[in-house]
Copies of this chain bind each other. A is one copy, B any other.
Amino acid sequence: MLLLDEKHKAIGAMLATELLEVEARFAEELGSDLTCVNDLVRHVERYRGKMLRPTLVLLCGQAAAGEGEINDAHRTLAAVVEMVHMASLVHDDILDEADSRRQGATLNALRGNEAAVMLGDYLISHAYHLCSSLDHQEAARLIASATNTVCEGELLQLANRYNWQLDEATYFDIIERKTGALCGVSCRMGALASGGAMELREAMDRFGRKLGSAFQIIDDVLDLVGNEQVVGKSLGKDLEKGKLTLPLIRHLAHAGEAEREKVLALLRGNDDDRAERVGRLLIESDAVGEARRCAETIIDQAKGELVLLPQSPARDVLESMADMVLTRNA
């Protein structure tokens, strides 16, 4: 869907302006009197990419505000969720022993795991600090609750490393917690700061959670069959770290005994071209196609959650963002 009329252009302009303000708050919050801290912060600021979560706060905020406008709480909450997300990227890269992100070296690769552990903590701490500047105890509670869930998702994933029997239900439990929860709370915060009713806030939360889960499925697909130059980060990491994701779970579920054994031997092995060979198998068996169609179904469900919102350009853009989750290749 191309949204090129005046009304939608106005939303695009609003987003551009507000995201600049969000970035300014982000940078201001993280400033320290210590040079060594500022150097590290400057490094991870380069990680900033899609700004998906702040965009969700702002768009859901605008869509729930009707004729009203984005306010100060939206901007602060948008910076908070981005900071939480950035912290999780920094700590994730340690878990994944990833060397590159957004076309650059990761902090752990460049400065060691120790600095990455502490800088992640610094980001989390500042996220809560910024959040507590708001007079919104409910927002603080909900964000902390979402981060609890994110950590559970990561721990559940960790507990299932090298579990080649991982079932689909557990996979969905993992991605809903580790990725869905923060997108859900981002959307909910947008509606909350616009004074949206509880029913709407909950629908927005479900929209975000579904969008986040679909986003993660596509992320996992790209890790298996994406182009490293385009995606801009180390790929094939999931296999390397023993993480089973949807295409592989589906492939193994459909495979006969012989095929299953062949794939498991490949997974347990150490061949250099393992990721490539697995990727090819998953494309050939249409397991990648199945995973993409599964993400499509979830995006359809997500869009269904938007019915409580009045028709508006912001709502249209939310719908088209949901669609874009499916077509992204980076």
Residues of A within 8 A of B (CB): 32, 34, 36-37, 40, 87, 91, 94-95, 113-115, 117-122, 124-126, 128-129, 131-133, 135, 137, 140-141, 144-145, 147-148, 150-152, 154-156, 158-159
Contacts and interface: CB of A to CB of B under 8 A. Distances in A.
Nearest to A35: B159
Contacts of A113: 94, 113
Given A118-B151, A125-B124, A155-B37, A135 B137 contact: yes
A91 B121 CA distance: 9
Contacts of A32: 152
User: Which among A122, A135, A155, A158 has the highest number of chain B CB atoms within 10 Å?
Assistant: A155
Dominant secondary structure of chain A at its interface with chain B: helix
A152 B115 contact: no
A209 B125 CA distance: 19
A224 to B, nearest CB: 21
A87 B121 CA distance: 10
23 contacts: A32-B152, A34-B152, A34-B155, A37-B152, A37-B156, A94-B113, A95-B118, A115-B155, A115-B158, A118-B155, A118-B158, A119-B151, A120-B121, A121-B147, A121-B154, A124-B125, A126-B144, A128-B140, A128-B147, A129-B145, A129-B147, A131-B144, A132-B137
A303 to B, nearest CB: 29
A175 to B, nearest CB: 14
B128 A114 contact: no
B125 A132 contact: no
Contacts of A154: 118, 121
B129 A114 contact: no
B117 A117 contact: yes
Nearest to A126: B148
A126 to B, nearest CB: 6
A156 B38 CA distance: 11
A177 to B, nearest CB: 9
A270 to B, nearest CB: 20
